Amino acid sequence: MTHNVVSVSGGKDSTALLLLAIVQEVPNLQAVFADTGHEHQQTYDYVNYLAQATGVPIRWVKADFSEQIARKRLYVDTKWREKDVPDSIVEQALAVLHPTGIPFLDLCLWKGRFPSTKTRFCTTELKANPLIEQVMLPLMEEGGMVLSWQGVRAEESLARRYLPECDEVGGGLFNYRPILRWKVADVFDAHHLMNIKPNPLYLQGAEESWMHALRQLQ
């Protein structure tokens, strides 16, 4: 049995990816949205719209860093005191080291910093790992092949230009990138042909969407 898992982000490429899977009538289709807890509200609304408009249920998954934060609390409460860190500072740190239920914020609490160009851990911890742990691994345990559909395109970056359309991860899991050679016009054509509206953030300009997280932190 082949499982086709389409990663949906609310962006134009992942939407086109889902539409392609629908047109191809792939078997055992699952659409999954990894909720970082820090998306624009219009993106959340769009993911709900997409499920309704396509008739394909979209499963929401999110990372849970409760155990990591608990271990960090223990480290702060013991090791910091052993290093003679003032009690007032230890207590201040312990006061904020509690899970918020918002994956992005909890990740920052665990790591002790916000992500940056030099410390990029958001995509792996907030999106890739939850998908693997909560969706891919259970399917792999059932046996058969799992195709992880990824909406990446070669023209987006130099690194993506040299990605293969399909590669084997192991254990029956494969990364599949069927729109790798698509142009941006092809992406929006797919929306138009399927009568699917794009995420309204694109109408406000790409910067509005891309810079949302940064503005929230300022």
- Give me the pLDDT at residue 210, please: 42
pTM of the full structure: 0.83
Return the number of other C-beta atoms located less than 10 Å from residue 8's C-beta.
24
Q: Which of 21, 23, 16 has its CA nearest to residue 3?
A: 21
Sequence letter at residue 108: C
User: What pLDDT band is residue 122 in, cutting at 50, 70 and 90?
Assistant: confident
Contact 6, 135 (CB under 8 A): no
- Map out the domains of the chain with their CATH numbers: 2-62+144-217 (3.40.50.620), 66-98 (no CATH)
User: What pLDDT band is residue 216 in, cutting at 50, 70 and 90?
Assistant: very low
Q: Mind listing the pLDDT tens digit for each residue in 135-191?
A: 999 999 988 899 999 999 999 888 888 899 999 999 999 999 999 999 999 999 999
Instruction: Measure the CA–CA gap between 30 and 148, rounded to whole angstroms.
Output: 10
Q: Mind listing the pLDDT tens digit for each residue in 43-60?
A: 999 999 999 999 999 999
pLDDT above 80 (res 72): yes
User: What pLDDT band is residue 121 in, cutting at 50, 70 and 90?
Assistant: low
Instruction: Measure the CA–CA gap between 191 and 65, rounded to whole angstroms.
Output: 36
